[in-house]
Amino acid sequence: MTPVDLAAHDTLAKLVVHHARAHGDAVAMREKAYGIWNTFTWAEVHDQVRTLALGLATLGLGRGDVVALTGRNRPNWLWSEWAAQALGAISLGLYEDILADEAAQLLNAAGARVVVCEDEEQVDKLLSLGERLPELRWIVFHDDRGMRKYADARLVGWRALRARGERLRREDPDRFRREVEAGRGEEVAALCTTSGTTSEPKLAMLGHGALLRHALRYLERDPRGPEDEYVSVLPLPWIMEQVYVAVMPLVSRIRVNFPERAETAMADLREIGPTHLLLAPRVWEQTAADVRARVMDAPRATRRLYDLAMRRGLEALDRGTRDRLAELVLFRALRDRLGFSRIKSAATGGAALGPDTFRFFLAMGVPLRQLYGQTELMGAYTLQDGREIEFDSSGRPFDGVEIRIDDPDANGVGEIVTRHPDLFHGYFDAPEATAEVVDAEGWLRTGDAGYLDPRGRLVVIDRVKDIATTRAGDRFSPQYIENKLKFSPYIGACVVLGHGRPFLAAIVCIRFSMVAKWAESHGVGYTTYADLAAKAAVHELVAGEVDRVNAGLPRAQSIRRFVLLFKELDPDDGELTRTRKIRRRVVDERYGELIRALYDGRERARIAAEVTFEDGRKGRVDVEMAIRDAADGSAEAA
């Protein structure tokens, strides 16, 4: 890959123009619609961005204004983002499944003047807020199905916006060029929400130049170029998907592919055969669980062959080699079935991935690597090099990035503090919050606990506030144990408890698709998720999985009691962030009575809780759950 000249092209929009001139006929991106992959060249992307930018200009959008975008991953989102930035405006991504109240909080915090959204569902969400969005002037919608019934003066359709842009281009042919050339690398390109595990998400201001320079630094560690393919699966508001989709293609010209729907994403991925892939830990976990579920349905001979090949593959992995027999009878076909045959580099980030899941994919021959970073620091700034078998570390920092460990304990574990040459501009309209995490010398407190190993690789343990200590003084990482539990195909999520208490306990959510398949094959009838989670046979099934994990843990870190929750943890109920991280304080408060029952010896617990249904309605449920003791199968006891 020939590096782009960031001195001459110091904003995202300048690079859109550059690639249209230098590589106009080259494929920039694809989108699958109605079963067909539609291709867009850099020249076509440029024309879309120019038309939309001029259309937005007719709505009064100018430098420093904020444009929010929401909907599924599609080229029109990316074009709209680049178009707004071409005018000197600032983009703000909102998660597609965000609740109306959350959207109002973020839109008002940013003072967003325009929202570009996908369809009627998103428009309904915005219009339901009534007068609660005083700064909002325009709502642009892409899909006009069902929109004729609305008469709100703020609404403007995609075709109408484009028509406005075409009209302005005829009236002032030089307008787009002037707007793009006026841009400067030090200007803010995007507002990106932080994870918000402890409070409301903050809006990190990310500069054009910082994003582009950091992408170049990332590509030095993990090269990619115009011949490479990426499939956009993760939500576009997340910092890492922003870097992979909105920034890296402008620096390396890697081609971005947008699946037809979230439900078809993995099938669409198989059709493309990406060379680079970034998936969240929960997606890697679900993929591994799906593989094991298919094996469960296979004939006995196939299951035995799978077990043999997987055992040989894992043993070879531990020796730093590949097993030819395992490759021949299992792994080659499995990679092909998953769409992983062409992958040069695969990554996971946003949360820790359990070592068992990591080993599963490495044994399969998927070059999976863990990365680490923060929104405030342009996403990832450490990455495993792929040459070493390492399950715990996140690799070494990129060139120019400094890491230190503050207040280390006897094992060297302390808070990870980082200094980065391309730091964020601060939190939007929140200088006090910025000063709390960034000192005068540019060091940022991450809030994560970890250490640097003898080779200079960063090992992340957990959030500093989440490192727990039992009443007896034994320290443990809830996240580490949770990841081991989630390697089970039957456990979708869990929360490990025990801080200040006599032993560890867990609230477990079953992986509904897998447990339902198991129930059907074992003649266990059920009606709903809650009904299935209450079945005695399912408790026995999960107890076996908990015992398996306990067998590999010291006794002080083993799970002594657990309960199967009547529902999945849900961002809409505030229990998870939009990136699926646990909000432990919310869980502690919402399920306080259940937690007390786990520790006072009760065999059953009744709780009443408010839940959010799929259509956004809220309701209350009153449910009784059984509490189960786990066997003492810890490594120390054994």
What is the mean predicted confidence (pLDDT) over 268-286? 92
Domain range summary for the chain, segments of one domain joined by +: 12-275, 278-341+343-465, 467-629
Instruction: Tell me whether strands 90-94 and 66-70 are parallel, antiparallel or unpaired.
Output: parallel
Cα separation of 258 and 426, whole Å?
31
Q: Are strands 443-452 and 458-463 parallel, antiparallel or unpaired?
A: antiparallel
Residue 228 has pLDDT above 60, yes or no: yes
pLDDT at 1: 56
Two tokens at 56? 């937005």
pLDDT of residue 332: 96
Nearest CA among 432, 433, 462, 458 for reference residue 447: 462
User: Would you place residue 638 in the very low, low, confident or very high pLDDT band (cuts 50, 70, 90)?
Assistant: very low
Q: Specify which residues 41 forms β-bridges with.
A: 27
> Is 487 in contact with 285 (CB distance < 8 Å)?
yes
Mean pLDDT of 395-412: 93
How many Å apart are CA 612 and CA 363, to the nearest integer?
A: 40
**Residue bearing tokens 């929140």:** 430
Matching fold, domains 12-275 and 278-341+343-465: yes
Q: Taking residues 37-48, report their average pLDDT.
A: 98
In eight-state DSSP terms, residue 243 is I
Q: Would you give the DSSP letter of residue 49?
A: H
CATH architecture of the domain with residue range 467-629: 2-Layer Sandwich (3.30)
The pair of three-digit structure tokens given for residue 2, joined into one six-digit string: 């020939």
For residues 609 and 79, which has the higher predicted lDDT (pLDDT)? 79
Which band of pLDDT confidence, cut at 50, 70 and 90, is reported for residue 208?
very high
Q: What is the mean pLDDT of the chain?
A: 92
Give the Cα separation of 283 and 266 in Å (integer).
10
- Pick the closest to residue 48 from 13, 1, 73, 8 (CA basis): 13
Rounded CA gap, 570 and 568, in Å? 6
Is the pLDDT at 50 greater than 70? The verdict is yes
Q: Which residues pair with 257 in a beta bridge?
A: 30, 231
Average pLDDT over residues 617-632: 83
Q: In what order do the strands lie in the sheet with 90-94?
A: 155-157, 138-141, 114-117, 66-70, 90-94, 188-193, 203-207
CATH of the domain spanning 12-275, picked from 3.30.720.120, 3.40.50.12780, 3.40.228.10, 1.10.3720.10: 3.40.50.12780
Model pLDDT for residues 132-170, shown as the tens digit of each residue: 999 999 999 999 898 888 889 999 999 999 999 999 999
Whole-model pTM?
0.88
Top CATH class of 278-341+343-465 equals alpha beta
- In Å, how far are 145, 344, 609 from 150, measured between CA atoms? 11, 48, 36
pLDDT at residue number 447: 93
- Predicted confidence band of residue 636 (pLDDT cuts 50, 70, 90): low
Query: For strand 379-383 and strand 396-397, is the pairing parallel, antiparallel, or unpaired?
Result: antiparallel
- What's the burial of 249, exposed, middle or buried (CB within 10 Å: 0-12/13-18/19+)? buried
pLDDT for 134 equals 95
What is the tens place of the pLDDT at every residue in 410-437?
888 999 999 999 999 999 999 999 999 9
Element (H, E) at 622: strand 618-629
Q: Is 443's pLDDT higher than 50? A: yes
Q: What is the mean pLDDT of residues 291-296?
A: 84
Burial (CB < 10 A; 0-12, 13-18, 19+), residue 116, is buried
Higher-confidence residue of 436 and 296: namely: 436
The stretch 564-576 carries a mean pLDDT of 90
Residue type at 189?
Answer: A
Give the dihedral sign, CA 522/523/529/535.
negative
How long, in residues, is the chain?
638
Share of the chain above pLDDT 70, in %: 96
How far CA 414 is from CA of 411, 442, 443, 450, 461, in Å, comes to: 9, 19, 15, 6, 9
C-alpha–C-alpha distance, residues 611 and 35, integer Å: 36
